[in-house]
Each structure stands twice: as C-alpha cells, then as structure tokens.
A and B are shown apart, each in its own frame.
Chain A
Amino acid sequence: MRLMLIAIVLLGGLSLSLGSQTLQWADVLAGREDTWLTLQASRLPRLLALLLAGSGLAVCGVILQHMVRNRFVEPGTTGGLEAAKLGMLVSLVLLPDAGLLPRMVLAMLCCLLAGLLLVMLLRRMPVHGQTLVPVVGLLYGAVLAALAEFYAYRHHLLQDMQGWLLGDFSRVLAGQYELLYLIVPATVLAYVYARRFTVMGMGEQMASALGLGYAATLGLGLLLVAMVVAATVITVGAIPFVGLVVPNLVAMRYGENLERTLPLVAGGGALLLLLCDVVGRVLMHPFEVPIALTAGGLGGLVFVYLILRGGPR
C-alpha cells in the first residue's frame, strides 16, 4: 500500500509536468502566472480525473465480480460502458441543451437498467461456466453498442460518438470534469459496505444462510456501479479493462476479502490509469494516444493471460 502511494505521487508529478508545453517546476515555485494557469486549468484537473476514474472503475469491477461471482467481468465486459454511451446519446437527442448533470442521470439510469437486465439474464442461465459469463456479457455489450450506433446513425451523431466516447483525458479542463467527484462518495460507500459485498460474493444461498439481505445488496452494488460508470463515460469516455485487471492482480496476492483489499483495488486502479496516461503521452510526444487505446491494449493482454491461466487459482 505504501509503495503504491509513493508510485502514485511520483507518476502524478510526472503527469503534471508532461504536455505540449513542458512544465518547469522552478517556474511553479517562482509563481509564474501562465505556468500556474496551465497547472490549475488543465494539468491538475487531468491528474485528479485520472485518479478518480481509475480508482472508481477498479472498484466497480471488483463489485461486479462479486455480484455475478465471476472474475472476468467489469463494466467493459458486461455492457455497462455501452449502456452509459447509449444513455448519453439519448440525452443528446432528447435534451440537446441540458448540462452534464441531467445527461449523467440519464446515462446512469441506462446503466442501471442494463445491469439489472444482465443480472436477471445470468441468474436464469442454467450453466455458469467461468468463461461463459464474460462471453454473454460481451455479446450483450455488443447488442447495446449496436443499438447505440443505430440510434446515433438515425440522428446523425455517428462521428461525434466515435470521437468523444473513446476514453481520452486530453479534453479534461477545469469546469468539465467535476462530475467525477461523485466517485468519491461511491467508493466510500463501497468501502462501508465492503463486508456485505464480500458475503454477496459467496453466492445467494450461502449469503442468505449468513443472514444477508441479498437482493438489497445486489441493488446497492448495481447503483454504485451505474453511478461511477455514468460519471466516467460522460466526462472522459469509455475506458475498458481497468476494472478487470486491477482486481484480479490484487486477488492473486491479497485475496478477495474486500474489507482488506478494496483500498488496494482503488489505489491500483488509479495507478494503472495514471501509468497508461503517461505512456500514451510519451509515445508520440507532443501528440497523445487516447487512454482507451493504451488501457485497452494493456488490459486486453492481461485479460487473455488470465483466461489462459484460468483465473488466480
């Protein structure tokens, strides 16, 4: 944990100084106005957004994994990201002048609905192979994505959609990312209810034998996930695989007792996203590779590795 914090601080410092205009730390200390403006308006918001989105997505992933008792699920493999995209598109068409907040509410509702539907679908599925669930989730996500694309096509939004829904932090400026702060209460709530979520991960029968209100816990989990996913998709776009990679890596070493591991998962998510961001910005400096690509590339590799390995056990 301590090591993780140190790494976050170091990478965070690097992230602050990177950009088309290289930041001179001496100027910051000297209090030069334009340097401070860059820092306040762009670099700092970007860093905060990265940390929030990373930890939020990782926590979402681990909650989803406990919910459907499968370690290969995360918002990107359960249709969560696609549902939020769809919600955002719908909000663009129906409420073209609305601010970010109503849009996010709509995206969140879509996400919640999609999550509910998937959980119901999975519960009816007779076979529950560890690799079958993510396959169903990916198919489900593809259907939602197709719906979103069709909708976008009908309303001439196709190009926009592809542009701004690809996870990217270069658009983050002060005044446009603050919805991400919703991730803070969501993560805190997840931590408060960590024990419940762990018991939920034991399965419905075992959980109710231990006296857990299963349905209520499931609902709370879905709500938290929808909130975080909607907030990230609206502000920075869809970022795949963070929610998958981090919880699995943490589980290998530290197990899955969320009361103990949730802080590690949150920190790990922040660190991973920060790392992906720095790599994406250095690769073709002064241009940027969108973070969805770096995270997707890195995450995809770990995903394949985990499938081949059959999970941590």
Chain B
Amino acid sequence: MISVHALSHHYVGRTVLSGIDTVFPTGKFSALIGANGAGKSTLLMLMARQLQPAAGELRLAGMPLSQLTVRQFAQQVATLRQFPDFRLRLTLEELVAFGRYPHSQGRLGPADKAAVDDAIDYLGLASLRGRYVDELSGGQRQLAFLAMTIAQQTPLLLLDEPLNNLDIRHAIDIMRALRRLCDERGCTVIMVIHDINLAANYADHIVAMKHGRVYASGEVAEVMQSALLGEVFGLDFEVQRQHGGYVCNYFTYR
C-alpha cells in the first residue's frame, strides 16, 4: 500500500530518520514500535504528508506522494494525530461529519450521512451523538476522533499513539475496531503504539525502529523475539506465548 524508499529526515542539524526502506502491506494492520525518539512519529507524519522529507521518497500504491493534490490525498489517507490540539466546540456528530469533508466539501449528501451514521455505530457512540466533544471524557473523545477518521472512508489510516491516556477498556475497544476495519473492510492501518502487548496481539505486521532506522520488520511472529525486542528497547525481554496470544515480560525487577 505505502512504501518508503531511502527516506531521511532531520530537524535542525539532528538526524531523526536515515535511510528508511520498508513496505507496509496492503490490507494489514501494521504497528510501529520503538523507544521514544526512535523516529516512529516522524515516519508516520512523513507518510501523512504533514512533514516534507529531506531525502528519499514515499509511494502510495506506486504513486509518489508528492504528486497527489491535497484533496486526492485526503480521499485516500486519513490521519489521526497524537494529541489532536482541537479547540472547536462541535458536537460529536458534527465532528464525525467533518470527516466527510474530503469527499463532500462540507455539503453532506445521502452517502455522506450514511458514512457518518456508520462510523458512529461502528464505535458504539450513538448515545453520545449530540454531546459536545469538549465535554466528553478522554476515552470518549479519542473514540470520537477515531470515528471521524473512519468516516473519511479511506483505504489507508495512519494513527499516532491513539491509545495514549486511555484505560484498558477503551484501548481494547479501539484495537478491536481497527482490527475489524482491516478484516471486514480491507483497510490498511498503520499505528504508532507503545504498548507492545497490544501490538503483538492485534497487529499483523510490526516495524521496530531504533535510532532513526528500521531495526526489524516482518510478521508479528518474526519480530516478537525476546532477544530482538531486548535490543530495540535496551531491556531484558521475555516473550511468552499463551492461549494463542503473546505476553511480553519486561517489567519484572531483576
């Protein structure tokens, strides 16, 4: 779906990404993992075109990203940022409806209304429709923004740490919703995530980054190795397989 070729980026003199080459598989749920400052969010923001790469190229379905117009891009890629610095007072329904902006330019047709209803129902937010977003709890707010992203109905979704500050219930709700988006609708999802256990149990593909480079990438089973993850995070890792899922122990004091 989206491929990265010899991509580099730096902020004033400091290199944050160097020589990244990787492919995010179509229709799969990919997780970007790594320590703080490893370059995960920068890579995601480059894919979202919120930053311009210093060198290298990104391609969406073979087409260089830089060749798409703002509107074409918005019809194919939806982005949810880490802390949506959002100050407008809109109701949840209005917010989700603005997810249709790339398609409707704000004039909602029947198809747009259906997409809005669908996104709201998909995340079980129907009871909060008329509430103002700034009056919702942190978890509900995050779900509202995710609903907006889903309403955009793009083949590719980019999410930067959408689980930040969420309780385990809301975190699982979001992971399940994204999993279903891949399975039922064939969407490609790429997510920056810190919780390695959630990544291992919900994603298909993991890209592990360290010091601005891709340290390892592949299917979950390939990356979920104690030694490899230990290197990525500089911690003692113990990956256990239990009940068909993964549990990583990196927190026991030794």
- Residue of B at shortest CB range from A204? B50
Q: Does B251 belong to the interface (CB within 8 Å)?
A: no
Residues of A within 8 A of B238 (CB): none
Which A residues are in CB contact (< 8 Å) with B49? Answer: 208
Q: How far is the CA of A155 from the CA of B50 in the complex (A)?
A: 50
Chain A 225-266, CB-CB to B under 8 Å as 1, else 0, gives 000000000000000000000000001000111010000000
Q: Which of B50, B79, B81, B88 lies in contact with A198, CB distance below 8 A?
A: B88
Determine whether B132 belongs to the interface, using a CB cutoff of 8 Å to chain A: yes
Contact check, B70 vs A212: say whether CB atoms are below 8 A apart.
yes
- Given A206-B84, A209-B79, CB of A255 within 8 Å of CB of B90: yes
Interface contact B98-A198, CB-CB below 8 Å = yes
State the CA gap A312–B102 with chains docked (Å).
29
Closest to B94 in A: A257
Q: Which residue of A lies closest to B74 (CB)?
A: A211
Q: What's the least CB distance linking A71 to chain B, in Å?
A: 8
Q: Which of under 10, 10 to 19, 20 to 34, or 35 or more describes the interface residues of B?
A: 20 to 34
CB contacts (< 8 Å) of A213 on chain B: these are 70
Q: Is A124 an interface residue (CB 8 A)?
A: no
Q: Separation in Å of the B177 CB from the closest CB of chain A?
A: 19
Query: Separation in Å of the A199 CB from the closest CB of chain B?
Result: 6
Given A255-B89, A256-B90; A209-B106 close (CB under 8 Å): no
Are A199 and B98 neighbours in the complex by a CB distance under 8 Å?
Answer: yes
Chain A residues near B105: list those with CB within 8 A: 195
Q: What chain B residues lie within 8 Å of A251 (beta carbons)?
A: 89
Using CB atoms, name the residue of chain B closest to A210.
B101
Q: Which residues of A contact B84 (CB under 8 A)?
A: 206
Those of B55-95 within 8 Å (CB) of chain A: 70-71, 73-75, 78-79, 81, 84-91, 94
List residues of chain A with CB within 8 A of the CB of B85.
203
| Contact of A313 with B70 at beta-carbon distance under 8 Å, contacts A205-B50, A210-B101 already known | no
List residues 250-300 of chain A with CB under 8 A from any CB of chain B: 251, 255-257, 259
A115 at the interface (CB under 8 A from B): no
Instruction: Give the CA-CA distance A69 to B107 in the complex, in Å.
Output: 23
Closest Cβ of chain B to A204, distance in Å, is 9
Residue pair A195, B90 in contact (C-beta under 8 Å): no
Interface centre among B73, B88, B105 (most CB of A within 10 A): B88
| Distance between Cα atoms of A205 and B84 in the complex (Å) | 9
Structural contact, B89 and A313, CB atoms closer than 8 A = yes
**A103 adjacent to chain B (CB < 8 Å):** no
Counting CB contacts under 8 A, is B134 at the interface?
A: yes
The minimal Cβ–Cβ distance linking A86 to chain B, given in whole angstroms, is: 31
Residues of A within 8 A of B74 (CB): 208-211
Given A196-B106, A199-B98, A211-B74, decide whether A206 and B89 contact each other with a Cβ distance below 8 A.
no
| A202 CB–B CB distance under 8 Å | yes
A199-B101, A211-B75, A211-B101 are known; give 9 further A-B pairs, CB within 8 A.
Answer: A195-B107, A198-B88, A206-B81, A209-B78, A210-B102, A255-B89, A255-B132, A257-B90, A257-B91
Q: Which 9 A-B pairs have the closest CB atoms?
A: A195-B106, A211-B74, A211-B102, A211-B71, A210-B101, A256-B89, A209-B79, A255-B89, A313-B134
- A-binding residues in B (CB < 8 A): 48-50, 70-71, 73-75, 78-79, 81, 84-91, 94, 98-99, 101-102, 105-107, 132, 134-135, 152
A-B contact pairs, 28 of them (CB 8 A): A195-B105, A195-B106, A198-B88, A198-B98, A201-B88, A203-B85, A208-B49, A208-B70, A208-B74, A209-B50, A209-B74, A210-B74, A210-B98, A210-B152, A211-B74, A211-B101, A211-B102, A213-B70, A255-B90, A255-B91, A255-B94, A255-B132, A256-B90, A257-B91, A312-B89, A313-B89, A313-B134, A313-B135
